[in-house]
Amino acid sequence: MSAQISSARSGAVDKAGEQEPLLSIRGLRVGFRRAGDQFEAVRGIDLDVAKGEVVGIVGESGSGKSVGMLAALGLTSKNAVVTGSVRFNGDELVGKSSREMRKIRGARIAMIFQDPLSSLNPVMTVGAQIAEAVRLHQRVTRKQAMARAVELLHLVAIPQPERRVNQYPHEFSGGMRQRAVIAMAVANDPDLLIADEPTTALDVTVQAQILAVLRSLQERLGLGLVLITHDLGVVAGHADRVAVVYSGRVVEQAGVSELFADPRHPYTRGLIASIPNLEESRERLFSIDGSPPALGRLPGGCAFHPRCIYAEARCRTEDPPLHDIGGRFSACHFATTLPPFHSAALAAAELDSGSMAP
Amino acid sequence: MSRYILRRLIAMPFLVLGIVTIAFLITTVTKGDPLTAIVAEQQMSNPEVVAAAKARWGLDRPLPERYMIYLGNLLSGDLGTSFITKRNVGTDILYRLPATLELVFAAMIFGTTLGIVLGVLAAYFRNSLIDHGARLFALFGSSLPVFWSGLGLLFIFSVMLNWLPGPGRVDARLALPPGITGFLTIDSLLAGDWTVFKDALWHLLLPAFVLGWTVSGTISRLVRANMLDVMSREFVLTARAKGASEFRVVIVHALRNTMVPTLTVIGYSFAYLITGAVLTETIFSWPGMGSYAVEAARALDFPAIIGVTIVGGLAFLVTNLITDILYVVANPRVRLS
């Protein structure tokens, strides 16, 4: 474990160029106690986000990617046990009091959520909710905060912000609501924005608009952006670096082009192969056999081995740590010896037939 | 928004007419003979006396005519004369209603505050000792009959501990301030009479608590259920992510979203208690509407029964209207419809 941490950290330092990254997560674990039972939703997340960098976190629903980020912000429920280290601007967040965390949340680190329909309070005007975010962290009058809210709505390209500011969420469309949520998130010029599936609940055309808004803000404000998603397309188009999460752990971390060109973990390969391809008409979409393990019922060894076509005896007993394979990381015993990866479509065909097994 | 309220205001007169009509008709279909309330028992066999009584009270006229006469009188504010007290029913009610209103207002203040606070705490500290305690308190509040809890509390606080006065609205030996609002606590304050104010307040405490307890049970359970639902919604997480304090998250964001169903119950309880506080009024010798209704019903005092029914119906109409208006304040989505 300690070797893993040190190697991961040295890699991160390379990346950020001698200075500590904006956000640095090491060995983050989140356990829940329920009716005497204890299970771990997050079993060790390592992640770095540099200033102004866009990092994608990819994984299936229930893989722990959202819970991990919520835990980093101290937003998990009372029965959660969070261990590990989350350093933000060199400041350790795990173990901070809730009062100290409140000063950071919404001010230095903002987070937005999946469903714009329910992430705004239905009985408060949109403006009042944005102004609240401003007034929670800045000493300004109500009027100044409302003026700032108008400004922010303008910033996220909502037309007629002076009128819109006094409307209620139900008077906004889904895309508009998500824009308002983003406006609220950047109200205090945070350093880091964590977006948890920000486009999942939206129409495809609106998705593109929202991502464009996020990206332009990220560039303009120099935000570090964490994009939590299950959509590899979003990651491919917007992230600088990607962390792939499987059953509560980061299994691969690499620059976005490296990852797509040459994935070094069988799970990543499966994910990329299952992206629908418009040019190549295949009989059916590729999918990884089996389903992710249920919480608290992890198989021994590597959590992915029951679904892995490369699995060997060692994988059933030994859980591979996330290790450095030349400036990138993989948690596979065979990370460096996996056969070459050709293209998504070809890989899908090969993975399907299982002929690539070493 | 104004149109929404206007529509309800326009509907009011028709609803009132409906209430009056039903109240009037109900008395005519009862098996009881109102003459027994008017004519002494030994005179019932005397046809002359009976006929005179019938003519005197208009009972010899056909039903539609009586109905029209009643409506005509009602329009000029005359609720008719009580068979028993021989006073105008309106005067009787005006004397009784403030006592009940004062009691019900006080009970609602107790019940609503207690109910909301306990409901919020129970939801926030779900499955904790507080939650179980609140559940037990609510269970007793809504299932203990008022005549049991009322008598029990009277025994403990008035007889055993002697902390609070016994039944009644105020010490009978005190000279009362001029009746401006009819609320003893307010009238005595207006008159600057601290002795009466303190005495009236002490008298009010126990019956108001007993009534409020029953209401708080319903409200606290409802608030708890709604809070649990609302607290799991994403906007609560958003509020926390903004850096809002837990108090702010719970009160400003979550609680406000549970207000619509809560307002419904508060409004309903209020209207119900105006005529439904019979047992409490009886136990605490409270000279209010409930005890008046019981006396009227027992004596087949038809004008009084109709009068009480109309007032009870009006209470529902008015509280419903106020509740509707408050809905608009509590929930902006109503404003569209």
A74: left (phi over 0), alpha (psi -120 to 50) or beta: left
Structure tokens at A323: 């290790």
A79 in contact with chain B, both atoms CB, cutoff 8 A: no
pTM over 0.95: no
CA distance B78 to chain A (A): 45
Q: Which residue has the higher pLDDT, B46 or B120?
A: B120
Contacts of B233 in chain A (CB under 8 A): 118
Q: How confident is the model at residue A8 (pLDDT cuts 50, 70, 90)?
A: very low
Which residues on chain B place their C-beta less than 8 Å from a C-beta of chain A?
A: 233-235, 237-246, 253, 256-257, 259, 330-333, 336
**Contacting residues for A149 by C-beta, under 8 A, at least 6 apart:** A126, A127, A130, A131, A134, A165, A183, A187
CA distance B245 to chain A (A): 7
The string of pLDDT tens digits covering residues B309-336 is 898 888 889 988 888 888 887 777 766 5
Contacts of A185 in chain B (CB under 8 A): 241
A324: left (phi over 0), alpha (psi -120 to 50) or beta: beta
The string of pLDDT tens digits covering residues A205-236 is 888 889 999 999 999 999 999 999 988 888 99
Which is it for strands A224-229 and A192-196: parallel, antiparallel or unpaired? parallel
The string of pLDDT tens digits covering residues A146-182 is 999 999 999 999 999 999 999 999 999 988 999 999 9
The string of pLDDT tens digits covering residues B18-30 is 999 998 888 777 7
Contacts of B238 in chain A (CB under 8 A): 112-113, 119-121, 181, 184
3-state secondary structure chain A: CHHHHHHHHHHHHHHHCCCCCCEEEEEEEEEEEECCEEEEEEEEEEEEECCCCEEEEECCCCCCHHHHHHHHCCCCCCCEEEEEEEEECCEECCCCCHHHHHHHECCCEEEECCCCCCCCCCCCCHHHHHHHHHHHHCCCCHHHHHHHHHHHHHHCCCCCHHHHCCCCHHHCCHHHHHHHHHHHHCCCCCCEEEEECCCCCCCHHHHHHHHHHHHHHHHHHCCEEEEEECCHHHHHHHCCEEEEEECCEEEEEEEHHHHHHCCCCHHHHHHHHCCCCCCCCCCCCCCCCCCCCCCCCCCCCCCCHHHCCCCCHHHHHCCCCCEECCCCEECCCCCCCCCCCCCHHHHHHHHHHCCCCC
Does the pLDDT at position A2 exceed 60? no
**Contacting residues for B105 by C-beta, under 8 A, at least 6 apart:** B183
B285: left (phi over 0), alpha (psi -120 to 50) or beta: left
Beta carbons of B236 and B230 less than 8 angstroms apart: yes
Inter-chain residue contact B241 with A114, CB threshold 8 Å: no
Which is it for strands A54-58 and A241-246: parallel, antiparallel or unpaired? parallel
Beta carbons of B185 and B197 less than 8 angstroms apart: yes
Identify the CA nearest to A231 among candidates A275, A187, A189, A261: A275
Beta carbons of B191 and B200 less than 8 angstroms apart: no
Inter-chain residue contact A136 with B242, CB threshold 8 Å: yes
Q: What is the pLDDT of residue B272?
A: 85
Instruction: Indicate the burial class of B200 (C-beta count within 10 angstroms; 0-12, 13-18, 19 or more).
Output: buried
Beta carbons of A264 and A338 less than 8 angstroms apart: yes
Structure tokens at B39: 């004519």
Inter-chain residue contact B238 with A106, CB threshold 8 Å: no
Where exactly are the structural domains of chain A?
A: 249-353
Contacts of A118 in chain B (CB under 8 A): 233-235
A182 in contact with chain B, both atoms CB, cutoff 8 A: no
Domains and CATH numbers, chain B: 95-336 (1.10.3720.10)
In chain A, the residue whose alpha carbon lies closest to the alpha carbon of B243 is: A102
Q: What is the pLDDT of residue B218?
A: 92
- Cβ–Cβ pairs < 8 A, chains A and B: 76
In chain A, the residue whose alpha carbon lies closest to the alpha carbon of B240 is: A75
ipTM of the complex as predicted: 0.84
Q: How confident is the model at residue A351 (pLDDT cuts 50, 70, 90)?
A: low
Contacts of A77 in chain B (CB under 8 A): none
DSSP readout, B297-312? HHTT-HHHHHHHHHHH
The string of pLDDT tens digits covering residues B194-234 is 888 888 899 999 999 999 999 999 999 999 999 999 998 99
Length of chain A: 358
Q: What is the CA radius of gyration of chain B?
A: 24
Mean pLDDT rounded to a whole number for chain B = 87
CA A13 to the chain's CA centroid? 20
Q: What is the pLDDT of residue A76?
A: 87
- State how far the Cα of A131 lies from the Cα of A122, in Å rounded to an integer: 15
- Picking from A101, A114, A119 by the largest number of B CB atoms within 10 A of its own CB, the best residue to mutate is A119
The string of pLDDT tens digits covering residues A251-270 is 999 999 999 989 999 999 98
Beta carbons of A348 and A266 less than 8 angstroms apart: no
Q: What is the pLDDT of residue A85?
A: 93
Beta carbons of B277 and B211 less than 8 angstroms apart: yes
Which is it for strands A80-88 and A91-92: parallel, antiparallel or unpaired? antiparallel
CA distance A181 to chain B (A): 9
B181 DSSP 8-state letter: S
